[in-house]
Amino acid sequence: MAQEKNRKRVKIGLLGSGTVGGAIQDFIFKDQKRPDLDLEIVKIFTRHPEQKRWYSTYPKLFTTNPLEVVEHPEAEIIIEALGFQNDQQISEFKDYIIRAFKSGKGLVTSDKAVLARHGREIWDAAARYGQELRFEACVGGGIPIIRSLTESFAAEEPTAIYGIVNGTCNYILSEMAKSGKSYRVALREAQECGYAETNPESDISGSDAEAKLILLAAVTFGVHVQPGKLWRQGINKIHAMDFLYAAKKASCTIKHLAVARSVGASLQAFVSPVLVPRSHFLSSIDGATNAIFFKGRRSEDDASREQPESRDWNYVFVGPGAGGGATAVAVLGDVMDLARGRRQRVTGPPSLVAPGVLGLHSPDEILASFYIRFVVTDRAGIVGDICQTFGERDINISEVWQLSHSDEELRRLAAGCGKDIGSRKILPFVITLEPATVKQVKQALEIVGQQDYILLPPIWFPIWTD
């Protein structure tokens, strides 16, 4: 009884009642076992309250007016867990966050798109009104990466942070790798399992991973990047055939990665499919799981001595990257932190490196070895012509890979070409490049892509190196 008396009651306003918002309601309405805190939702904004599972139990808590949440006189902390469909909504959600600060409330968000697009304005508003902003749930689902970076690694000198940050993409690629499923079949299964939305564009295009990488870059390196300024590729052009080449010719698999690493005085950052060696721990990350790798200079020597095979990272964080439950746990962890009075700086995202120390590396100047898969008309001289085009742009070819393909594989390729061509007249093959810049590869492929023997646009992405 005495313990119950000492519990602090914390009143919460909730923006959103979708996958994450619904899971937050489940936690709070069903579970009040925290010894020191009693969380109470005082108002919930959603567009269609009558469709929500807790509406029949608590109809008076629901509203279709978001301002009733952000300006609620009793709410101390606002949770923003809204799902957006377009850029206008992102701007609206930003306004809700700022109004919450203006109303004297701390805010916890799972909305990485809003922070990636309007982060500076939001942090400025938090500072202006003296309020707290927390965003652990924006990156990595249930992985506590933001808190680890800002607290556990506060004394580190970061050199790289990278990994799998989109569970939808990883599920799709994992299914294609394991069983040779087509991209479309794997995507449909991801939607049926609840890992992909009905409109999966933000996931498969890489824009979701880009937003998460923008936040990781800000926290790790103090570099603020606007969406659209990074080199970004999605997964929708990957074919089951690419996994055959990756496995049989290079003992690799394909993962969709978000990468940020310091190169001299600049930050190299990109989102793309990457050819990853089977020897790398990333290759074993399966399904909708996320994995984020961190490398710091101070602990680099110790890690290399103890585990030479993992010299390209010091620490790895693995956990559920999709689903309302994992994200809700991260959101409520931030809520409890705020409720217990733990404060951070409000001038911007806490960073391991002072803002302005590193500049953003030009996306066109990113240097890497590349995998390029072609589908061409089968006739003499084509490989030589392509290699000559690359050579004229000072790009060295490392290897040419060609596998024997089944009639079924070739028929599927022929159907995708949109041309009246028999499967026996199709030639798929891969070339790998020695290190070249993104700009060089783009220029070479622009010329090759104009040739009449090209049946499908070439697919190209980096090969992982330490």
Could you tell me if residue 444 is left (phi over 0), alpha (psi between -120 and 50 degrees) or otherwise beta? alpha
Q: What is the DSSP letter of 7?
A: P
Which residue out of 181, 212, 255, 295 is catalytically annotated? 212
Count of CB atoms within 10 A of residue 203's CB?
A: 25
Count of CB atoms within 10 A of residue 112's CB?
A: 23
Q: How far apart (Å, rounded) are the C-alpha atoms in residues 341 and 211?
A: 29
First to last CA, the chain: 57
Count of CB atoms within 10 A of residue 465's CB?
A: 12
**Which residue's entry shows tokens 């939607």?**
191
User: CA dist 414 to 376, 450, 456, Å?
Assistant: 10, 19, 10
Q: How far apart (Å, rounded) are the C-alpha atoms in residues 61 and 43?
A: 5
Nearest to residue 119, comparing CAs of 152, 86, 79, 90? Answer: 90
Write down how long the chain is: 466
43 a catalytic residue: no
Q: How far apart (Å, rounded) are the C-alpha atoms in residues 320 and 322?
A: 6
Dihedral of CA atoms 315, 320, 324, 325 in degrees, nearest 10, equals -90
**Catalytically annotated residues:** 212
